[in-house]
Chain A
Amino acid sequence: MTEAYLAELSQHLRVGPLRRRRILAEVEAHLTDAGGDEEAVARFGTAAEVAGRFNELGPSPRKRLAALAVLGGIVFVYGAVQGLERHIPPAPWPEGAAPANLETIFTLSTSGILIAIALVLATLLRGRRGDALAACAALAATVLLLALHALRRAELVPGSPPSWQLLLVSAAALTPPLAGAALTLRRG
């Protein structure tokens, strides 16, 4: 009885493989607890109805929008970094002024972007608020790190663009993750 019900439920589910496995495992545990008979299945509801309720639970439009904002932010950051690389005079840094932690900055910013991308995908697949907020936080932290580095570099390397321009680009790069976080946290 339970096996047939689970097979029918699986047919009606329109969710990813991980969620499908979890849902089927939870329903199986429930039906076993409830006796596993016809009455237990009837009390649970038809497979089509139950699957329909799960199918409606994709990411909310606001979380999806927040995830897309973070993706847009990542593209913007990539473009900004490429653009700045062309406009800020290249190394060599002035004697003794090169930051010792250039490798760390590169590793942290690359990791931040990769983590943000992974969390965006998780948001789109699982629809969890925590994933969306973490994606926004990862991108915002990366932007802040890169902005501080760009400001320091511009200050030390003669011929760099003025700080206000870098601040403007940084503020623009911070807008998508902040807007995404606000969207995710908004009630209602």
Chain B
Amino acid sequence: MRAELLKGHLDLLLLSVLADSSLHGYAAIEELRRRGGFELPEGTIYPALHRLEAGGLVNSRWSAESGRRRRVYSLTRSGRRELARRRDDWRTFVGAVEAVVA
């Protein structure tokens, strides 16, 4: 999928992939690729994760796996509420576009 189609939706996608489990940035990118075939400039993910963290929607901690340190991100409670709100907005938007385009 083209990267420009992601504009404006990256936060929703990141919140969605973090909803099921805590992930580090690389794993989040892999998950986006696996679930939706998204190919995006990978360097966009980390500033987005930092922005979500500054907004209190995710938190993060260092985790050491097989001797490698990675920053692992998880949804906060307000992140889950925000995800629910954005999912509703997204479904409304998709329904409206579908009604016009179809």
Q: Residues on A close to B: CB < 8 A?
A: 22-23, 25-27, 29-30, 32-34, 43-45, 49-50, 53-54, 56-57, 59-60, 63, 126-130
Contacts of A22 in B (CB 8 A): 71
Check if A26 sits within 8 Å of B46, measured CB to CB: yes
Count class of interface residues, chain B:
10 to 19
When distances are taken between beta carbons in the complex, the residues of chain B under 8 Å from A57 are 47, 50-51, 54
Question: When chains A and B are docked, how far (Å) is the Cα of A32 from the Cα of B25?
Answer: 12
Complex: chain B residue closest to A59, CB-CB: B54
Contact status B43-A45, CB under 8 Å: yes
Listed A/B pairs (12) with beta-carbon separation below 8 Å: A26-B25, A26-B46, A44-B41, A45-B41, A45-B42, A45-B43, A49-B43, A50-B46, A59-B54, A126-B54, A128-B53, A130-B56
**What sequence of 0s and 1s flags, for each residue 46-66 of chain B, a beta carbon within 8 Å of any chain A beta carbon?**
110011011110000000000
- Note all chain B residues with C-beta closer than 8 A to A127: 54
B70 within 8 A of A: yes
B9 close to A (CB within 8 Å): no
Whether A129 contacts B56 in the complex (CB less than 8 A), given A26-B71, A29-B69, comes out as yes
Q: What's the nearest-Cβ distance from chain A to residue B14, in Å? A: 14
Q: Is B24's beta carbon under 8 Å from chain A?
A: yes
User: In the complex, A177→B13 CA distance in Å?
Assistant: 34
Question: Is B2 in the interface zone, CB < 8 Å from A?
Answer: no
Kindly list the 6 A-B residue pairs having the minimum CB-CB distance in the complex, ordered from nearest: A45-B43, A53-B47, A50-B43, A129-B56, A45-B41, A33-B26
Complex Cα spacing A29 to B25, Å: 9
Complex Cα spacing A26 to B45, Å: 11
Q: Are B70 and A29 in contact (CB under 8 A)?
A: yes
Known: A126-B54, A127-B54. A27 touches B46 (CB 8 A): yes
